[in-house]
Structure 1
Amino acid sequence: MPDMTDRQAFSGLTVLDFSQGVAGPHATTLLALHGADVIKIEPLEGDWGRGLGKIEGDHCAHSVAFNRGKRSLALDLKAPDAIAAVNKIAAKAAVVVESFRPGVITRLGFGYEAIKKINPSVIYCSVSGFGQTGPYSKRPTVDGLIQAFSGMMVMNRLPDGTPWRQGMIAVDVTTGLYTFQALSTAILRQFRFGEGCHIDSSLMRAAAAWQGAKLMEWVHTEGNPQPLYMPAGSYKTSNGYIMLSAMRPHHFRKMFELIGRPDVAADPDLQTHENRIKNAPKIVKALNETMPARTTEEWIALLQPNEVFCERVSNYEDYLAHPHVKETGAVDWIKQDGFASMPIANIAGLPPAREDPARHHAPHVGEHSRAILGELGYSAAEIDAMVAKKAIVVPSLPARAAE
């Protein structure tokens, strides 16, 4: 049981979390990191999100990242004993989150109307691909398909025009952020006015919200959005890539003078914002010809002191090792069962992970089943009987919490 003297924003709130994968779990782990007691309801085999990428035991990097701070209760949602236990949690939960395909949670007996009868002020949040209504509501989907559906892949197209998928599950992560925002304001309304609600959160709508300005731009330009300014992009150097950005006229001229291309700086076709965009191929050609002559570090040493915006294109290893990242405490390293130390990117508004590493522990499948049922009033014998009937799963050995 979490410490009720904890002064985090959501301390003392119980969250019943049926969600799996990334979007819903991301939202609920943010609630947990802000103090809520998030009880993760998992099937007997565990959340399918535990199998995204390389697996260590019953975790992968994604399941650690998006389930920190929760407690796991693994059970069979069709078993009468398990149903009774979940209803006891639902009756006291401030928030319930689910991410089944629309209609499934209702058939299981835990839909909004059913929970509302036993908990009138509950905040109930459904996270899905296309939302709870509409012709695509029951259409199966994943992050990459929503990137395609929402226009994101076209916005992120390659120079030759090929639509391109983001290399991470960008829509799922973004949906988690928008869902956390919606839950946070709903919790405040619940606190102030005693009112609950049903939040319909979807990957489709989150992808559009994230690209809101691009949607407007598409209409404003009649489907022909232009670059925001030129030059802006990454260019090959002798040992890697450099990102360049020169929006203002004096930055443009200074950059090309410094790199030894005064001809481009003085080109009459490139002296206004509109002309630089119109004649972008000229700029790109000049940079592709010139930048490979030196290393990224040499260019940065030349350009940055003269207030030309540029940065090395780094990989994650570069980022984690960077002295600025280290000195500002942007990342802490936390031990998670089955893994070497894992980098935890600290979130604005939360204490650094190093100050409370136990809060960043991601539970094993059913790690807290016994403890949670005990808090609900079940005896050890009753819990053992539920284990024997395969209504719940408990770890064979006590899991070691984060140190």
Structure 2
Amino acid sequence: MQAKDNEPLLAGLRVLDLSQGIAGPYCGAILQQQGAEVIKVEPPGGDWARNMGIERDGFSAVVLAYNAGKSGLCVDAGVDAGRAVLQRVAQQVDIVIQNFRPGVVDRLGIGYETLASLNERLVYVSISGFGPDGPFADMPATDNVLQAMSGMMHANRGATGVPQKVGLYLADIAAAVYASQLACAALYRRSITGRGRHIQLSLLEACAAIQSSNILDAVFSSGLSPARSATAPGGVFRVSDGFITLATLNNGMFTRLCNVIGATHLLQDERFGSNQSRLAHAELLNEQVAVQLRGECLAHWLPGLKAADILHAAVGNYQDLLANTQVSHAGIFGEVRNAGLAALPRARHPGCPRSAAAESAPRIGEHTAKVLAGFGFTAREVGELVASRVVRVSEHAGK
């Protein structure tokens, strides 16, 4: 019974990942980390994300993070024979993922209507920037565009009031998480009806959804500037050797904070007697707390804040995260290990069991022959497809 309980949740599921970039590939990566077999399809020129940021030996950090553990299949979908290959594979998978602009996959003969007619159990996931139709449907959509349009940059404005991009691909990441959940929900519905479903979602929807409380707060404020924080004191404060973040949820926590930082005089000020009154005077209160904190170092403040059960953390970087003892204890990171590259940390999907086995991201067409054989293509058929350049086999295949 124990062995069965440890079986990956999506073991036996097959996914055809036609997507490029971040949102679609990360959706596929989430399913892969839960046990699905994911086939990463790339055109002969490769996923455009291979050239995002620093590129080493044909890989970027984005490709490594969101494609490790997948099998690589390279197909030229711009020719009839390439489309036929993808249609044949799609007949035997459970999920297809694509994140092209509306209409592109239909023109390529691999849209939902075409593939669903070949496989009625298919769950087809379409991720777009703004949705399948409407005045913005054909606009190019990138993470920074969606962060700006959705109010996310405004919510993240700095002390000077200048809007700032959140320092990660949050729009894409949010869309990927929602897409993977919807795909699994569609699989549940399929288990009842026997039929698949076309799942359609946009980065714009995802950005709105993750900001629901912020948007409601803006409406509650009746045109006034909404509170930058739900409690006060709170925020990021400078100490002598770095930064620390604090939050106080109630009067008890505020009292304990004042005791720890040596600011009991604040407890006598009626302006700070409740959360609502503290919020009304948040700027003044935060200035008072900042004065108390800046004269000492992290090592001075952290033990007392922990002992007093106050919400706090030192503001660290990614190296600090990787060295964190709780992170190590929980096995939050596995490894991506590609030939020619040093072993790199990759966060496992939350809730999935840790694994000691290192995974690698595929090169363009690295597993083409193996993948096609697994879908019933004969060696002769594969050879003909390779010879006619319909599919591509990496020079690293089999190594």
TM-score range, shorter chain: over 0.9
Shift in Å at residue 190 of structure 1? 1.1
Q: Which amino acid aligns with 1:264?
A: L
Other-structure match for 1:225: 226
The within-5 A match list for 1:89-100 is 89-100=89-100
Question: For the structure 1 residues 391 and 94, does the alpha-carbon distance in structure 2 shift closer, same or farther, using more than 3 Å as the test?
Answer: same
Q: Which residue number corresponds to residue 27 of structure 1?
A: 27
SS at match of 1:293: coil
Partner of 2:55: 55
Q: Which one of the candidate residues 267, 270, 276 is aligned to 2:269?
A: 267
Q: Deviations over 1:208-264 (max 9, x none)?
A: 111112222222222432220101111111000011111211222332233222332
Q: Which residue of 2 is the match for residue 111 of structure 1?
A: 111
Per the alignment, do residues 191 and 142 of structure 1 end up closer, same or farther by CA in structure 2, a change over 3 Å counting? same
Q: Secondary structure of the residue that 1:66 maps to in structure 2?
A: helix
Number of residues of Structure 1 aligned to a counterpart in Structure 2? 392
Q: Distance in 1 between matches of 2:310 and 2:87?
A: 60
* 1:327 counterpart letter in structure 2: H
Give the Cα–Cα distance (whole angstroms) in 1 for the partners of residues 264 and 351 of structure 2. Answer: 47
User: Which residue is 1:386 aligned to?
Assistant: 385
Superposition CA RMSD, Å: 1.8
For residues 221 and 283 of structure 1, the distance between their equivalents in structure 2, rounded to whole angstroms, comes to: 21
1:256-301 Cα shifts (integer Å, max 9, x gaps):
2332223323222211212111111211211232212100121112
Q: What code does the residue aligned with 1:292 have? A: R
Q: Distance in 2 between matches of 1:23 and 1:324?
A: 29
Matches within 5 A, 1:4-403: 7-223=7-223, 224-226=225-227, 227-354=229-356, 356-357=357-358, 360-398=359-397, 400=399
- CA distance in structure 1 between the partners assigned to 2:30 and 2:306 by the alignment: 37
Q: Is residue 74–residue 393 contact of structure 1 (8 Å, CA) maintained in 2? A: yes
Question: Which secondary structure does the structure 2 equivalent of 1:157 belong to?
Answer: coil
Report the alpha carbon displacement of residue 26 of structure 1 after superposing the two structures with TM. Answer: 0.8
Shift of 1:147: 0.6
- Quote the Cα distance in structure 1 between the aligned partners of 2:311 and 2:16: 47
CA contact (8 A) 1:257 1:265 kept: no
Q: Helix, strand or coil: the match of 1:172?
A: helix
Q: Is the 8 Å Cα contact of residues 33 and 349 (structure 2) preserved in structure 1? A: no
Unaligned runs of 5+ in 1: 1-5
Distance 1:301 1:78 in 2: 62
| Displacement of 1:165 | 0.6
- In structure 2, give the amino acid aligned to 1:12: G
Work out whether residues 24 and 97 of structure 1, in 8 Å CA contact, stay in contact via their aligned partners in 2: yes
Residues 102/373 of structure 1: CA separation in 2 closer, same or farther (3 Å cut): same
SS of equivalent to 2:294: helix
C-alpha displacement of 1:106 = 0.4
Verify the 8 A CA contact 1:71 1:368 in the aligned structure 2. Answer: yes
What is the TM-score with the length of structure 2 in the denominator? 0.93
Q: Shift in Å at residue 83 of structure 1?
A: 1.8
Percent of residue pairs bearing the same amino acid type: 32
- Specify the SS of the correspondent of 2:87: helix
Deviates more, 1:296-305 or 1:252-261: 252-261
Residue 3 of structure 2 aligns with which residue? Answer: none
Compared CA separation, residues 111 and 376, structure 1 to 2 (3 A):
same
